[in-house]
Structure 1
Amino acid sequence: MSTPAVELVGLTKSFGSVTAVDDLDLRIENGEFFSMLGPSGSGKTTVLRMIAGFEQPSAGRVMLDGDDVTARPPFARDVNTVFQDYALFPHMDVLDNVEYGLRVKKVPASQRRDRAMAALESVQLGQLARRRPTQLSGGQRQRVALARALVNRPKVLLLDEPLGALDLKLRRAMQLELKQLQREVGITFVFVTHDQEEALTMSDRIAVFSDGRIEQVASPAELYENPSTAFVAGFVGTSNLLTGEAAPAVLGREGTFSIRPEKIHLDSDVESGYTTARGTVADVVYLGSVNHYLVELDAGPTLTVLEQNLRDSTDQAMSRRGQQVTVGWAEEHVIDLSGHTEQARQPEKKEKS
Structure 2
Amino acid sequence: MPHQAPAETRRPDRRPPDGQPAIRLTGLQKHFDKVRAVDGVDLDIPPGEFFAMLGPSGSGKTTVLRMIAGFELPTAGTIELDGEDVSRLAPFERDVNTVFQDYALFPHMSVQQNVEYGLKVRRVAKAERRGRAAEALRTVRLGDYGDRKPAQLSGGQRQRVALARALVNRPKVLLLDEPLGALDLKLRQAMQVELKQIQREVGSTFLVVTHDQDEALTMSDRIAVFNAGRIEQVGTPVEVYERPASAFVAGFVGTSNLLSGSGAEAVLGRPGVFSIRPEKIRIDDDLAFPAGSGEISATGVVTDVVYAGSTVRYAVALDAGGQLSVVRQNAGEPVRFADGRVRLSWRREHSFQVPEAG
TM-score w.r.t. structure 1 length?
A: 0.93
Cα distance in structure 2, aligned partners of 1:190 and 1:288: 33
SS in 1 for 2:71: coil
Aligned sequence identity (%): 64
Q: How far apart in 2 are the matches of 1:104 and 1:121?
A: 22
- Tell whether the 8 Å contact from 1:270 to 1:327 is kept in structure 2 after alignment: no
Picking from 268, 287, 290, the partner of 2:311 is: 290
* Range that drifts further, 246-255 or 70-79: 246-255
Q: Structure 1 CA distance, aligned partners of 2:135 and 2:174?
A: 17
Superposed CA RMSD in Å reads 1.4
Q: Out of 238, 241, 253, which is 2:255 matched to?
A: 238
Please state whether the residue corresponding to 1:177 is helix, strand or coil: helix
Alpha-carbon distance in 1 for matches of 2:42, 2:208: 17
- Alpha-carbon distance in 2 for matches of 1:265, 1:121: 48
Structure 2 unmatched ranges of 5 or more: 1-17
Query: Gaps (5+ residues) in structure 1?
Result: 343-353
3-state SS in 2 of match to 1:173: helix
> What displacement does 1:7 show?
0.4
* C-alpha separation in 2, matches of 1:100 and 1:322: 67
The equivalent residue for 1:212 is: 229
Corresponding position: 1:150 with 2:167:
yes
Residues 137-188 of structure 1, C-alpha deviation per residue, up to 9 Å, x if partnerless?
A: 0000000000000000001000000000000000000000000000000000
1:113 aligns with 2:133: no
CA contact (8 A) 2:291 2:297 kept: no
Pairwise CA distance, 1:287: 1.4
How far apart are the structure 2 equivalents of 1:320 and 1:178? 44
- How many Å separate the matches in 1 of 2:126 and 2:139? 20
Query: C-alpha separation between the residues in 2 aligned to 1:197 and 1:71?
Result: 34
Match of 1:203 in 2: 220
Moved over 4 A (4+): 268-271
Q: Which residue of 2 aligns with 1:345?
A: none
Q: Secondary structure at the match of 1:88?
A: coil
Identify the residue that residue 68 of structure 1 maps to in structure 2. 85
Tell me by how many angstroms 1:35 deviates: 0.3
For residue 151 of structure 2, the aligned residue among 134, 141, 152 is: 134
What residue is the counterpart of 1:14 in the other structure? 31
Instruction: Quote the Cα distance in structure 2 between the aligned partners of 1:249 and 1:286.
Output: 30
Matched, 1:168 2:168: no
CA deviations on 1:62-83 (whole Å, 9 max, x unpaired) are: 1001101111100111000000
SS at 1:281's partner residue?
strand
Q: Secondary structure at 2:107's aligned position in 1? A: coil
* 1:272 equivalent in alignment to 2:300: no
Q: Say whether residues 1:331 and 2:348 are aligned partners.
A: yes
Q: Does 1:250 align with 2:267?
A: yes
Q: CA deviation at 1:245?
A: 2.9
Return closer, same or farther for 1:338/1:24 CA change in 2, 3 Å cut-off.
Answer: closer
Asked if the contact 1:32/1:187 (under 8 Å) is kept, the reply is yes
